[in-house]
Structure 1
Amino acid sequence: MKRQLINPPSTQAMYDRLHFSQATRAGDLIWVSGQVGVDPTTLKPADGMETQARLAFEGVKAVLEAAGAGLADIVELTTFHTDLRGDMPEFSRVKDEYLPDRYPSWTAVGVTQLALPELLVEIRVVAAAGSGDD
């Protein structure tokens, strides 16, 4: 089984500068690196949990599509929150829009900080390509 690095064209500079892939695929399994709520036009963290969560899920979606999979293929979700209890209701509403059924395994972790001080949430997933097909 060959390992494939997944880096959509819009993330190539990050790969070159920070030396990590947005995802790694081996066979049907895809490990997506943590995605955060950074506005793609300004490259700055968005305001508020809802907007950051949407941007992070859009990042997950784009990386999975580049790897030949989709949101329905997510089998494990891990989220990191700087205010786990306070932001969970708002985060969960957004999560349920992106993952409306066939819920994956999910671990939510409270952390004291993320890569940038303004970040509120980081999302990483493991997906099995084709597993979400009916």
Structure 2
Amino acid sequence: MATRTIIVPEGMEFIRDELGYAPAVRVEQRLYIAGQIGRGSDRQLVADKEAQFTQVFENLRQVLEAAGAGFEHLVEVTSYLTDMRDLPLYMQVRDRYMAGCYPAWTAIGAASLCGAPGYFLEVKAIAELD
């Protein structure tokens, strides 16, 4: 069996300890990143839509960096949006972080996220590490 390493960036320990899952799991050279949402370091949902989308990518960046990686290591991204009309905004924010990176990408419309109102975006990803 391949070695599994749990990746928990500083400030995200509550995800493992209270919610019972890992922000990411490394298996050999592959990093599986759990869905990132627009909660800040204070664990509060960011209300403004563009700011929430930015927070999602900041959280994704933190997970990647904790694993010694960056956005250029992403090979697959799945985006869940509660309103597909937000796709242009999503792509604007995404391109601030992933310009020049071309992972495989799937966007999925979702009725709700995290079982609570106000969440507009969740992004999960897979990265291939050096």
> Normalised by the size of structure 1, how large is the TM-score?
0.90
Size of the aligned set, in residue pairs, is 128
Residue in structure 2 matched with residue 31 of structure 1 by the alignment: 32
Residue in structure 2 matched with residue 87 of structure 1 by the alignment: 86
Describe the superposition over 1:19-72 as per-residue Cα deviations: whole angstroms up to 9, x where unpaired: 10000001110000000111223x222123211111111111111111121111
Residue in structure 2 matched with residue 75 of structure 1 by the alignment: 75
Q: Which amino acid counterpart does residue 77 of structure 2 have in structure 1?
A: L
Residue in structure 1 matched with residue 64 of structure 2 by the alignment: 64
Aligned-partner Cα distance in 2 for 1:90–1:26: 33
Aligned-partner Cα distance in 1 for 2:113–2:23: 17
Q: Which amino acid counterpart does residue 34 of structure 1 have in structure 2?
A: G
Q: Which amino acid counterpart does residue 58 of structure 1 have in structure 2?
A: E
Segments of 4+ moved more than 6 angstroms: none
Asked if 1 retains the 8 angstrom alpha-carbon contact of 2:71 and 2:101, the reply is: no
For structure 1, which runs of at least 5 residues remain unmatched after alignment? none
For structure 2, which runs of at least 5 residues remain unmatched after alignment? none
Q: Which amino acid counterpart does residue 40 of structure 1 have in structure 2?
A: S
Q: Which amino acid counterpart does residue 100 of structure 1 have in structure 2?
A: A
What percent identity do the matched residue pairs reach? 33
Instruction: Show the 5 A alignment for 1:17-56.
Output: 17-41=18-42, 43-56=43-56
Residue in structure 1 matched with residue 9 of structure 2 by the alignment: 8
Q: CA deviation at 1:102?
A: 3.0
> In angstroms, what is the RMSD of aligned CA positions?
1.1
Asked if 2 retains the 8 angstrom alpha-carbon contact of 1:49 and 1:91, the reply is: no
Q: Does 1:97 align with 2:96?
A: yes
Q: CA deviation at 1:100?
A: 0.3
> Normalised by the size of structure 2, how large is the TM-score?
0.93
Q: CA deviation at 1:16?
A: 1.0
